[in-house]
Amino acid sequence: MDQDIRTGIAMSSNSKMKESSQPNMRAVAKRAGVSLSAVSLVVNGKPGVAPEKRARVLEAMNMLGYVHNGRRQTGAETKVVGLLIESQSLQSSNDGFYTRIIAGIEETAYRLGYRVLLHLYRRGVDPINDIRELMGRDVDGMIIANDGDITPDLIRQIAAHGNRVVLVENHLPEPIHAVTADNFTAGLIMTKYLIELGHRRIAALPGPSKYSSLRDRLRGHLVALMEHGIPIDPALQPAPISGEPRKGYRQMRQLLELSQPPTAVFAVSDKSAFGAMEAIKEAGLRIPDDISITGIDDVHESANASPPLTTYHVPKHKLGEIAVGLMHNLLTSDMPPVKTSLIGHLVERASAAPLPGLEVNRGGDRR
């Protein structure tokens, strides 16, 4: 993770273990497949640990129920902000999306004098009671990252207890502070980009509907098609298979079985795009010569994919920074609820090209 991350980030666990049976850092290191020194750096909130390795350590701490000796040292002089995140989000964070958000939260919290308590949510467990039992008191505020299993009803219950809440990559109609990427615009821009390259048979790889950010990205895609008079073909939008970790791969396999496969594919995330690229190559086709593909997120792997992935850069670190800034304002003033959308930008790489046989202006005109 970045160099100046010094916030002591404690880890909350749903596992109820007696103090005498608590695992030590050596057990965490073994579970995470990292060195003991790496675990020590993470536990003590020190820099020098790569984001993906830090995520593995945090997950191992959660799975083993590891309790750091210093976790309860949260006197009144230091405010503690809880960070609630869906367990699946962190487990699937090898691409660095949520580790970059967490990095932004850690750095900004340290600078403003807060401690951060990370809690992985699992369905059926009350996170507020879990944190209260762990700390002996409530946190001063709660940053909730992503939605998915963290449903709107759960968020409302947390807010109803009088907790100060800031949402990240999620938003509700209720007056609750939120910071998101402009996901609708991301879907709109990436689809218009493919249209400008001359593509008209453009498929989409939707994500699970429980994630509002992915729904917004798909909505942007559909609006772009309608604005350009391109009919929406349900066959070009294969639904993700529930419980399937390689959703993009499976969806792309369905598209390749069509009598008229797409010439371009819009994926709602880079992760889905990577799976689709694997399926395209497996079918003996070339990217972008036979099929162009784009994603959204601009995770680290995007620039190193083969070919490098054209995508939309989401300001992940900044999402974390803004979330803590909003929480600080909540704790120090009577700030009215706001929703902040951060604008990203298109990153052109080699995975998308003009439709073969057409000379195309960037304005989208065919010649």
Residues of the chain below pLDDT 70? 1-22, 44-47, 67-77, 88-95, 132-137, 242-243, 358-367
Q: CA 276, CA 264: separation in Å to the nearest integer?
A: 11
Q: CA 169, CA 364: separation in Å to the nearest integer?
A: 31
Per-residue model confidence (pLDDT) at position 64 = 78
Per-residue model confidence (pLDDT) at position 217 = 98
Per-residue model confidence (pLDDT) at position 362 = 54
Per-residue model confidence (pLDDT) at position 11 = 55
**In the structure encoding, which two tokens stand for residue 128, read together?**
């507020």
Per-residue model confidence (pLDDT) at position 241 = 78
Residue with tokens 């929480």: 327
Question: Could you state, in order of their start, the residue ranges of all structural domains in the chain?
Answer: 9-163, 183-313
Element (H, E) at 110: helix 97-112
The tens digit of pLDDT for each residue in 307-326 reads 999 999 999 999 999 999 99
Q: CA 13, CA 255: separation in Å to the nearest integer?
A: 41
Residue with tokens 């499976």: 250
Signed CA dihedral, 312, 217, 324, 9: sign only = negative
Evaluate whether 47 touches 3 at the Cβ level (below 8 Å). yes
Q: CA 165, CA 163: separation in Å to the nearest integer?
A: 6
Per-residue model confidence (pLDDT) at position 20 = 39
**In the structure encoding, which two tokens stand for residue 302, read together?**
């995007």
Evaluate whether 341 touches 299 at the Cβ level (below 8 Å). no
Contacts of 1 (CB under 8 A, 6+ apart): 47, 49, 50, 51, 54, 99, 103, 106
Closest by alpha carbon to 81, among 186, 168, 180, 202?
168
Q: CA 53, CA 99: separation in Å to the nearest integer?
A: 10
Contacts of 46 (CB under 8 A, 6+ apart): 5, 6, 40
State whether residue 240 is helix, strand or coil. Answer: coil
Under CATH, domain 183-313 is a member of which superfamily? Answer: Response regulator (3.40.50.2300)
